[in-house]
């Protein structure tokens, strides 16, 4: 707001100064009048520049230069442009000033500022180049990373396709092997024509329908009965050893009479006697059954054996004629 007011005041003051010249004859104003107006413009430009309104200062300096094209006004324009941030325009005006007045009052300052501006421009360009290089390297790195990712994806796809193809080949080979085995079995299968050998399944069915071998079941029963008798004898022996151990404990010198141990010894002795007697009977019965089955297989029509078991007795009844 202050800059706008300052600009209006400066323009009003300069207009008041230049107004009398417009009231004269239609001829161009005298050089003295131009210089006076240009001086007013320069003063207004300096005031605007001091207040920081560089754009207004440029406007007044340019008006003054158009009236009086003095090299110093080029320096003033260059200063205002530099302060306003117009580096390229400032550099061009400084060089123009040095070209028109190389030994002027501001020549040394202009050269220093030219060098400074040139250094700034070069530094700025170097920074821009560096940023461009950094951006280029970043872009190259990004593209390289994307290329690596794409390569990994491609390799994974190739590996997956190769694995799928291998599985398909394995499945096809398995199917072909299965078909070959089926064909081989079909080629080796016996014919069903008249006079041909019956299939293996028919032979198994015929064998399963054949009558059992004579004496086979008594032999199996005899072996099972003998095994049971052997187990009973073993149990009886075990309990007999246990009863003997208890008896030795009770008869040892200085031993205390123990009714429970006495009863346990009697019970173990009873089990031992029953086990060994019963086991022996079972072994005898099993042997008789096995022999009976054996003789049935050899002479089924001539010999007949029948086991019998009473309350306290077990044995065999033999009937028929021995060979």
Tell me the mean pLDDT per 10 residues along the chain, length 323: 44 46 45 90 96 96 95 96 95 95 93 94 90 92 94 94 93 91 78 52 50 75 89 89 82 72 86 89 89 72 59 62 52
- What residues form DSSP beta bridges with 320? 303
CATH 1.25.40.10 for domain 2-123: yes
Let me know how long the chain is.
323
Query: What residue has token string 């220093």?
Result: 112
Looking at residue 196, its pLDDT comes to: 52
- Whether the Cβ atoms of residue 97 and residue 106 lie closer than 8 Å to each other: yes
Angle at 99 between CA 93 and CA 101, to 5 degrees: 100
Question: Is the C-alpha dihedral spanning 32, 37, 41, 47 positive or negative?
Answer: positive
Q: Which residues contact 138 (CB under 8 A, 6 or more apart)?
A: none
pTM of the entire structure? 0.39
Question: Rounded to the nearest 10 degrees, how much is the dihedral formed by the CA atoms of 250, 255, 259, 264?
Answer: -40
Q: Which residues contact 94 (CB under 8 A, 6 or more apart)?
A: 75, 78, 110, 113, 114, 117
The model's pLDDT over 30-74, given as tens digits with 9 standing for 90+, comes to: 678 899 999 999 999 999 999 999 999 999 999 999 999 999 999
Q: Which residues contact 220 (CB under 8 A, 6 or more apart)?
A: 293
Residue spans of the domains in the chain: they are 2-123, 216-320
């Amino acid at each position: 707001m202050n800059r706008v007011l300052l600009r209006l005041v400066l323009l009003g003051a300069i207009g008041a100064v230049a107004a009398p010249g417009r009231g004269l004859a239609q001829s161009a104003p005298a050089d003295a009048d131009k210089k006076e107006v240009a001086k007013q413009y320069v003063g207004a430009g300096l005031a605007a520049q001091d207040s920081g309104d560089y754009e207004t200062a440029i406007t007044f300096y340019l008006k003054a230069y158009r009236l009086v094209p003095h090299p110093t006004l080029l320096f003033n324009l260059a200063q205002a442009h530099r302060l306003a941030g117009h580096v390229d325009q400032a550099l061009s005006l400084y060089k123009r000033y040095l070209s028109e007045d190389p030994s002027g009052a501001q020549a040394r300052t202009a050269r220093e500022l030219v060098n400074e501006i040139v250094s700034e421009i070069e530094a700025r360009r170097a920074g821009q180049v560096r940023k461009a290089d950094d951006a280029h390297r970043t872009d190259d790195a990004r593209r390289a990373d994307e290329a690596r990712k794409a390569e990994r994806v491609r390799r994974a796809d190739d590996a997956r396709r190769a694995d799928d193809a291998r599985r398909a080949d394995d499945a096809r080979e398995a199917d072909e092997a299965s078909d070959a085995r089926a064909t081989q079995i079909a080629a080796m299968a016996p014919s069903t024509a008249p006079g041909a050998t019956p299939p293996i399944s028919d032979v198994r069915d015929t064998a399963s329908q054949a009558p059992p071998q004579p004496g086979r079941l008594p032999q199996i029963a005899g072996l099972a009965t003998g095994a049971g008798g052997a187990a009973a004898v073993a149990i009886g022996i075990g309990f007999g050893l246990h009863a003997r151990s208890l008896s030795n404990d009770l008869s040892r010198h200085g031993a205390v009479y123990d009714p429970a141990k006495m009863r346990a010894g009697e019970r173990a002795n009873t089990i031992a006697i029953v086990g060994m007697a019963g086991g022996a009977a079972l072994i005898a019965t099993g042997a008789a059954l096995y022999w009976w089955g054996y003789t049935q297989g050899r002479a089924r029509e001539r010999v007949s054996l029948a086991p019998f078991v009473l309350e306290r007795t077990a044995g065999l009844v033999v009937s028929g004629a021995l060979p």
